[in-house]
Structure 1
Amino acid sequence: MTENKKVLVIGGGIAGIQASLDLAEMGAQVHLLEGTPSIGGRMPQLDKTFPTNDCSICILAPKMSECARHPNITLHTYSELLGVHRLNGAGFHVKILKKPTYVDAQKCIACGLCAAKCPTKVKDEFDMDLRERRAIYRYFLQSIPSSYVIDETNCRYFIKGKCQVCEKICERGAIDFEDRPKEIELEVGSIIVSAGIDPFNPKSLTQYGYGRHKDVITSLEFERLLSASGPTQGHIARPSDHKIPKKVAFIQCIGSRDLKVKNDYCSAVCCMYALKEAVIAREHEKEITPTIFFMDMRCYGKDFDKYYQRAEEQFGVSFKRSRVSKVDTDENDHLEVHYVENGLPKRAAFDLVILSVGIGPRKDIATLADKLGIELNDLGFIQTHPFTPIETSQPGIYVSGAISSPKDIPESIMEASSAAARVSEDLKFPRQKELAKEGYPEELNVVGDRPRIGAFICHCGINIAGVVDVEEVTKYASRLPYVEWAERGLFTCSQDFLETIKQRIKEHSLNRVMVASCSPRTHEPLFRDTVREAGLNEYLFEMANIRDQCSWVHMEDKDAATQKAKDLVKMAVSKAANLTPLKKLPVSIDPKALVIGGGLSGMTAALSLANQGYKVYLVERESELGGNLRRICFALEGEDPQELLSLTIKEVEGHPNIEVYKSATVLDVSGYVGNFKTRIEGSESQAEFSHGVIIVATGASEHKPTEYLYGQDDRVVTQLELEERLAQGLKPKAKNSIVMIQCVESRIDERLYCSRVCCQQAVSNALKIKELSPKANIFILYRDVRTYGFNERYYREAREKGVIFIRYDLEKLPEVKKEDGRLGIKVFDPLIERDLKIDADLIVLSVGITPYEENKALAKMLKVPLNKEGFFLEAHMKLRPVDFATDGVFMAGLCHNPKTISESIAQAKAAAGRAATLLSKEFIQSEGQISRIDEARCRGCGNCIEVCAYKAISLDEEKHVAQINEALCKGCGACAATCRCDAIDLGGFSSEQIYETICA
């Protein structure tokens, strides 16, 4: 353990931001290093995120602002790592080069006058060279920091020694041509590398015409065309003539799954982002008809197959399973895509072709790795181990995000929280006594003052302004009672506009604020924090959702949408006029954790928290720890899962901070974040303990099929059963035929999801059989082979070793028959358009993973949601993948969704990391919007007690009135709605406030 509690995070993308925030909340002093002028990474370049279609910058901007405002985080943007030296004992000496921006960030107010007058125009790298920027520029509209930067390689002053028009026009005197590079030296206890990725450049693949035909663009370039902040403000226009394309082709696997460019891996995200882009394109322009050319649709994540189905059935996206050979032009100069379908060469004309490019490690990763002394794999990604997915080859240096392997945003965030937990295990941060962040001014007393409301209306590109007339809504708001100031903001959640809101509060003595923008679910905390920074009580803020509740649902009727936006704004302003200040209460945190489930995820989470110094109660319903891992004998990468199992159990059972309860079930959970009480029942007795957080890691089970003679013939087994037989010594004979059928009773209406591990498990078992009996005949019948990421290599290896893959369609499922004691399979091969018959000695069913039925009872007990299939539902699919909406409760492993061993370990540590952000504090603040009882009106009828799901209300026997435990109350309002005497008011939703809102 080192005494140095500082941490360096390299890379300011979403993974770096999440790791920094988690560490800062644990009490670490974080230095976040980013090479570009702004934090955010690749995510701000995206238009939407799948599968929820959330606006990317809309959900990222609050995270960016939170990161910039956190007192424990120091940003080093536009900087690079010079060197790292390991200190004697523990920790690192780090040198950082801060490049000159030639603009004083303290003086710059991002007014843009300098850029408007700058005579130099260059290609804008953020917009993928689709438009120009000036030599003095802001990286993107929502940049943090929001100040401008001078590009000295293109600035006339640095090239010719004259110009300086920006300096002359800047009224703030922010231009500083004397700015020089600065070296910063730090000593840190640990380092997290979240350096991100670069998209593949398809120019080397000349057959696709990229760089030769203007209307052949990459997927990231198309993201910028779709984006409201992009070069066309979200209006789809092809580059050659700026017309709306009618026929759009997406070509998959460009720079992925391709030995010719030495990228023999799957980039893991391209199928889903192509689906998303096709859907969004259709939403933007109804006449667009998208076609996706693909080899396998790898929609393996949570709700991804549902999105795939919606794209096809609801949005009319067309799919062609074919690898495109080339793109050229016909005699009319239209783009022509050449492909093979059913064995025949075909061609089709398109107006726009989008190349779904893969992702790879950063161009400078080798240099960075050399400075850090860490190993890279043969593909240039940071080398990790399947069972320690966030650890590098150097102790004390950890990794998160796609720099270690291709992955999506939720997996990157999980790894970020996981890396933060691992750092906390090393540094063991002391518990924090402070109740709140520093830096807030003394709160103004506005009680009794006449309401003075500021109304701020968000433009948000075409997300809102493409449907709603924002200028008209702003004018309308300015005429409403008590509105002293009304203003339109291009993006109200951007850092510079948040500063504008604070300025307007001071300039116009505003004592209420109303923002009309997107969802309060993601943005209300950000705006509340902003008004608090201006000296107002944070509850003197109201929000109108004119995106989700207006522009998104009324795209076809702009006039009606504008009128509805006015109504929503009027209602919000009326409510704002009646808002009153509310207070938060301190809530103590019991520094202990309950982990429900003793499988790999539960044990990993428990060990992480225990190693951080927290007491853990681990409850397992079975008589032994291990869960599903007890049945897994082989790993695709060649590692030994059983060795991992035995080592983990030994460490858990021997850890002084972990109490293990086997053969135990949870009977009851009461309390609230920081102060839960749980009663369990074991095989011999009951136990009760208090704790501050809960991690749910209850696992899932292998689905038991009813088809293909399973249970009727012992030669029909599941993949797990085959794995167990192989481990017990089964050795197929040389001429044996083994047939594996994928997606058995999976990816159908009853279970419309991919179980993620089945394709990998089939390939793993097939390779094991080939190792034992090279001449065995193995057939894998599949719908899509979903060996994403580096697992693609094993798929290729299986084919090279003679494993035969035969595709089938859902409309023509394989048939299994038993005749004269022999097993036979008939399958229609769409490639040759004929039935194949295979005699089988063994049939192996890839049956997928199903959630436990017991999840329903546990979810009700914990007051957390399940999705349609019965898996636990996270607070936000992209940005809060291990949190529940219920504070203090987290999830990990298969109970969340099917995943691999490595992914389960990462998510388990992530859950521990998120839990530690609470356990590391002695106190937190409760929510201010809670119910309060007027004792003079209360009759003590007890109706409110019956409807309270949180057991926050009890009856005072002496006064015969209800009383509310403010720490338990979640502000749901059920009691207020039930009370016949109008004796209960919910803070922020009083009867008067609701009445004024309705009557507005």
Structure 2
Amino acid sequence: MTVGSVLVIGGGIAGLQASLDLADSGFKVYLVDRSPALGGKMAQLDKTFPTNDCSICILSPKLVEVGRHPNIEILTLSVLEELEGEPGDFVAHVLRLPRFVKEELCTGCGTCVEKCPGKALSDFDEKLGLRKAIYIPYPQAIPRVPVIDPNVCTYFLRGKCRVCEKVCPKGAIDYEQKETRIQLKVGAVILAPGYRLIEERLSQYGYGRFKNVLTSLQYERLLSASGPTRGEILRPSDGKIPKRIAWIQCVGSRNHQRDKDYCSSVCCMYAIKEAIITREHNPDIEGAVFFIDIRAFGKGFDLYYERAKKEYGVRFIRSMIGEVREDPETEDLIVRYVDEDGRVKEESFGLLVLSLGIRPDDEAVQMAQRLKIELDPYGFVKTNSYDPLSTSRPGVFVAGAFEAPKDIPESVAQASGAAARASFIIAPSRWKEIKLIPFPEERDISGEEPKIGVFICHCGINIAGVVNIEEVVRFASELPQVVHVEDNLFTCAQDTQERIKEVIREKGINRVVVAACSPRTHEPLFQQTLREAGLNPYLFEMANIRDQCSWVHMKEREKATEKAKQLVKMVVNAVKHKRSLKKELVPVKKRGLVIGGGLAGLVAALGLAEAGFEVFLVERESELGGNLRELYYTISGENPQKLLEELIDKVTHHPRIQLILNAQVVDHSGFQGNFSTGIVVGPSMTYRKLEHGITILCTGAEEHKPKEYLYGQSEKVLTQLELEKKLGRGELDPQRLKQVVMIQCVGSRNEERPYCSRICCQMALKNALKLKEENPKVKVLVLYRDMRTYGLLEPYYRKAREKGVVFERYEAERPPEVLEDLNGLKVRFWDEVLKRFVEVRFDLLVLSCAIIPRENEELATMFRVPRTLEGFYQEAHLKLRPVDTATEGVYVAGLAHWPKLIEETISQSMAAVSRASRILARDHIEVGGIVAKVKGELCAACLLCVRACPYGIPYINEDGVSVIDPAKCRGCGNCVAVCPQKAIELQGVSDEEIFSKIEALGGFKVGV
């Protein structure tokens, strides 16, 4: 019998996501982290790229969700020492370090921290600020329990003080705590311990010698509203605002002399983000980024890069830094470099930010060695392209930057994928070890007058730095029927959630208003808090005084304060009319539908089947495989055709997978847990109706066929994919080639397709190395704009140069030309070193073409999935919900989402499986709430609602009255808007609520 629990190592965003997916899918989770609080590196960031979301603002709801999840046991200050057993039945030996505070007694009041006289440099603030000897790492920390640092505490050092013990009202201080060891029975393990910054030998750039040289993470803390300068950009040396700031890229990585010759993947983008945010904070500060290649390869990254240049005026200087020295009088940094014309230049900057690379954490490496898990030469967990989530030890999986350098959405996707892989092992024990804690009985408020509680958030200084919070509190307290008003540093923090529940119970509050940030990210968090306090979750409203006020009126404090008051007044007026809404339980159809039979679809279908669910796999072609059929080798030497054969064999023989080829989707209806999709199959176009609970869209993408460079006119001009097919099938003899030219960014990174296709540089390297392997004498010239060999692809770039592949850069404004004369074809390009045009004759010209989505508009419309401007499916949230879509229960994976490599596609497909399993694992799902309701006595059966509904839900019954099924209604409100009789009401968004908001704003009565 397998054990239905999983051990997750690491409390950063990857560990949090893996834990939530598993716990929501019916498994017990032990979440272990060496730090005193969860959050990892994401908690230290100011904003995230390319959306500029406040990092802690989008992380905090995840932290609270983990903190109060009944099936996640948090073990901070803990280390995995040993793992015994086999997959499905492990025993984990965990060392628990002393906190010197009893977690079960501490209320997180903070009195001990306030009174503590001891101080030390704050690790969370990267030693730019101070903390106490007893401290909570950051305001939103989970668990919100202080920890005593014995290396700073006066009692531990000299046997004196004990102030914290004296002031603690609960007697939670325990100086006698010792290390303890516990054993946990688990069925699988996920390693997500995160990363450390590469900080070795930074003195060459002045770090540690010059006060105004900072690391990238230190600068994040400077920018942060909760940082040591409360978001003001001030120099450490003198507290003044710098006039000019420079970022130096590739510090610590892309350096083979120091065994760090990989690319850290995230540095270019976080430097661009920091430069943009700097300009938003203070437009007078000039920014310059010194770089080798800008690796903006992710979704939305290139547009973000272009915005930095064109909208924010950030300078990008392609150069390696020769020297950094300090002006002894001004403490400015003088940067010496060689520009693109070969001239030596010097520039002075008030602040220098080093974009540090990332590496595996030393303690994580030691843990992996204890567990006998194979690591690569850099210390990352060794995986293979076809199983990127598994370690060398069966039953132990990996996610996030411990596998390879990666950003937040990739870490989140890998975390969900690892959760899926872990669940396969223990699927028979789903729901066996978890506890279901019911919500308290809901209070009937139908006979009560409104008693409104208002909670106003500082959001660090995101709001309080602009809006006068005290004034808004006074204003709100004078509004009718408001019985409680308070302000909180971070209303989304776990301690404030407990406070809200306490106030609801003590004061009999029956309506709650939170004036903070966006309901888009935080409304579910607060609604859950109301449920836990016994209130209906719909007796709640948010006033967005951050996005809609403080952020857009940064320079107008008085007007922003006045606007915040009016926003609060509008919401208070509206919440009076809120009524309790009910949801109902409907059974879940425990089958999945996967559309698309390429790599992503095959992996997703197999994943769902291995998780224990039946699957329909629908493919429009007569055979499976998609683009994988065109691939014959990977850059690491693996054979994709072998992978394809194995996947097809498993899919076609799996008892839970029903394969449907030559099929086309023609209609779709329903909601998560209860979908119906119509398809037509085969030449006879036979119609079938498929009933399923979730959908995963894996419709793929394809290589763009260009019109430039004589493609289609000369047999000497091929695409990279065509070259690979010819080499793989033996249709091209490399021995007959003398000169091959490759041109990058054909059809992408231009006005028509302003995005990087991500995989093209890798394909060029792969094919160049293959040609060199087959014929070492062949000359290969690669014409590129930026070589985007991110992560562990970078060593292959160096290998290609060592093999003699020549790389020449070109600018977008001066692309290469292909010319034809009497002697044949040649390519002409501008040589940036020689400063003249160079012509090269070739035997073969290979074009690295854009990846474009397959025609998917009709399908996207049918499934209500938005698309990007480029035509790829749009995820629900770029950072934290990378495989979910705006339609609940519909997920996306593979090239249909964005160009990606084989291993990335497999990880993302597994992530979609994990997210889908949360629905399919349940017997019932809640529906209803904010849905349309028909007043039958007013209905004229005019059919306007039937025509207006984008989901086809309303119909006219035998009594001549419109009927809207609350289980199917999506709450869009179209029917309400078109009904001439006002016979339809959108529950939770009544006319009274809307009109009361207008009345509050204008001071006049609105007629119905």
Q: Which TM bucket (shorter chain)?
A: over 0.9
Point out the more displaced range, 785-794 or 673-682: 673-682
Tell me if structure 2 keeps the 8 A contact 1:443–1:536. Answer: yes
Instruction: Return the letter of the residue paired with 2:195.
Output: I
Instruction: Return the letter of the residue paired with 1:412.
Output: S
Match of 1:220 in 2: 217
TM-fit CA distance, 1:161: 1.7
Tell me if structure 2 keeps the 8 A contact 1:594–1:691. Answer: yes
Match of 2:854 in 1: 852
Match of 2:34 in 1: 35
Deviations 1:929-954 (A, max 9, x none): 11111112222212111111122211
Match of 2:284 in 1: 287
Match of 2:148 in 1: 150
Match of 2:988 in 1: 988
Deviations 1:550-574 (A, max 9, x none): 2222233232222221111111111
SS in 1 for 2:189: strand
C-alpha distance in 2 between matches for 1:280 and 1:538: 36
Point out the more displaced range, 866-875 or 554-563: 554-563
SS in 2 for 1:660: strand
Deviations 1:679-731 (A, max 9, x none): 11122323222111100000001001111111111101100011111112222
TM-fit CA distance, 1:3: 2.1
Tell me if structure 1 keeps the 8 A contact 2:584–2:927. Answer: yes
Match of 2:482 in 1: 483
C-alpha distance in 2 between matches for 1:544 and 1:90: 48
C-alpha distance in 1 between matches for 2:126 and 2:632: 47
TM-fit CA distance, 1:832: 2.9
1:166-181 matches, cutoff 5 A: 166-181=164-179
Question: 1:824 aligned to 2:823?
Answer: no
Deviations 1:813-835 (A, max 9, x none): 11111111511111112233221
Instruction: Return the letter of the residue paired with 2:641.
Output: Q
Deviations 1:49-108 (A, max 9, x none): 001000001001101111111111111111111221115x84211111222212222332
**Cα distance change of structure 1 residues 518 and 436 upon mapping to structure 2, 3 Å threshold:** farther
CA RMSD of aligned residues (A): 1.5
SS in 2 for 1:42: helix
SS in 2 for 1:579: coil
C-alpha distance in 1 between matches for 2:434 and 2:414: 28
Q: Please, which runs of 5 or more residues in structure 1 have no aligned partner?
A: none
TM-fit CA distance, 1:763: 0.4
TM-fit CA distance, 1:437: 5.3
C-alpha distance in 1 between matches for 2:322 and 2:652: 57
C-alpha distance in 1 between matches for 2:564 and 2:753: 39
C-alpha distance in 2 between matches for 1:482 and 1:965: 35
SS in 1 for 2:531: helix
Tell me if structure 2 keeps the 8 A contact 1:334–1:350. Answer: yes
1:708-719 matches, cutoff 5 A: 708-719=709-720
Match of 1:15 in 2: 14
C-alpha distance in 1 between matches for 2:528 and 2:669: 31
Match of 1:720 in 2: 721
Match of 1:517 in 2: 516
Tell me if structure 2 keeps the 8 A contact 1:431–1:922. Answer: no
Instruction: Return the letter of the residue paired with 1:461.
Output: G
C-alpha distance in 1 between matches for 2:694 and 2:481: 44
SS in 2 for 1:530: helix
TM-score (norm 1): 0.98
Instruction: Return the letter of the residue paired with 2:416.
Output: S
Question: 1:878 aligned to 2:879?
Answer: yes
Tell me if structure 2 keeps the 8 A contact 1:200–1:357. Answer: yes
C-alpha distance in 2 between matches for 1:587 and 1:197: 43
Match of 2:130 in 1: 132
TM-fit CA distance, 1:852: 1.5
C-alpha distance in 1 between matches for 2:149 and 2:835: 59
Match of 2:275 in 1: 278
Point out the more displaced range, 145-154 or 121-130: 145-154
Tell me if structure 2 keeps the 8 A contact 1:431–1:921. Answer: no
Match of 1:257 in 2: 254
Instruction: Return the letter of the residue paired with 1:951.
Output: G
Tell me if structure 2 keeps the 8 A contact 1:931–1:973. Answer: yes
Match of 1:962 in 2: 962
**Cα distance change of structure 1 residues 331 and 348 upon mapping to structure 2, 3 Å threshold:** same
Instruction: Return the letter of the residue paired with 1:938.
Output: C
Match of 2:235 in 1: 238
Question: 1:326 aligned to 2:323?
Answer: yes
SS in 1 for 2:734: coil
C-alpha distance in 2 between matches for 1:487 and 1:371: 50
Tell me if structure 2 keeps the 8 A contact 1:770–1:801. Answer: yes
Deviations 1:825-849 (A, max 9, x none): 1111223322111111111110120
C-alpha distance in 2 between matches for 1:185 and 1:105: 19
TM-fit CA distance, 1:429: 4.4
Instruction: Return the letter of the residue paired with 1:405.
Output: A
TM-fit CA distance, 1:434: 13
Match of 2:976 in 1: 976
Match of 1:891 in 2: 892
Match of 1:732 in 2: 734
C-alpha distance in 2 between matches for 1:257 and 1:811: 28
TM-fit CA distance, 1:432: 5.6
TM-fit CA distance, 1:439: 4.6
Match of 1:915 in 2: 916
Tell me if structure 1 keeps the 8 A contact 2:83–2:90. Answer: yes
Tell me if structure 1 keeps the 8 A contact 2:4–2:430. Answer: no
TM-fit CA distance, 1:750: 1.1
Match of 1:193 in 2: 191
SS in 2 for 1:708: coil
TM-fit CA distance, 1:737: 1.1
Instruction: Return the letter of the residue paired with 1:334.
Output: D
C-alpha distance in 2 between matches for 1:110 and 1:365: 29
Tell me if structure 1 keeps the 8 A contact 2:23–2:72. Answer: yes
Deviations 1:853-903 (A, max 9, x none): 2x1000111011001110000000000000011111000000000000110
SS in 2 for 1:817: strand
SS in 2 for 1:243: coil
Deviations 1:194-225 (A, max 9, x none): 111001114x1322010000100000000000
TM-fit CA distance, 1:40: 1.0
Point out the more displaced range, 723-732 or 254-263: 723-732
Tell me if structure 2 keeps the 8 A contact 1:207–1:325. Answer: no
SS in 2 for 1:972: coil
C-alpha distance in 2 between matches for 1:470 and 1:795: 54
SS in 2 for 1:921: coil
TM-fit CA distance, 1:466: 2.4
Instruction: Return the letter of the residue paired with 1:834.
Output: R
Runs of 4+, deviation exceeding 4 Å: 429-437
Point out the more displaced range, 112-121 or 278-287: 112-121
> Structure 1 vs Structure 2: percent identity of aligned residues?
52
TM-fit CA distance, 1:531: 1.5
Question: 1:461 aligned to 2:463?
Answer: no
Match of 1:538 in 2: 537
TM-fit CA distance, 1:139: 1.3
Match of 1:308 in 2: 305
Tell me if structure 2 keeps the 8 A contact 1:550–1:561. Answer: yes
SS in 1 for 2:523: helix
C-alpha distance in 2 between matches for 1:449 and 1:961: 34
Match of 1:599 in 2: 598
Tell me if structure 1 keeps the 8 A contact 2:462–2:551. Answer: yes
1:864-875 matches, cutoff 5 A: 864-875=865-876
Match of 1:783 in 2: 785
Q: 2:265 is matched with which residue: 258, 264, 268?
A: 268
Point out the more displaced range, 840-849 or 723-732: 723-732
SS in 2 for 1:9: strand
**Cα distance change of structure 1 residues 519 and 777 upon mapping to structure 2, 3 Å threshold:** same
How many pairs were matched up? 995
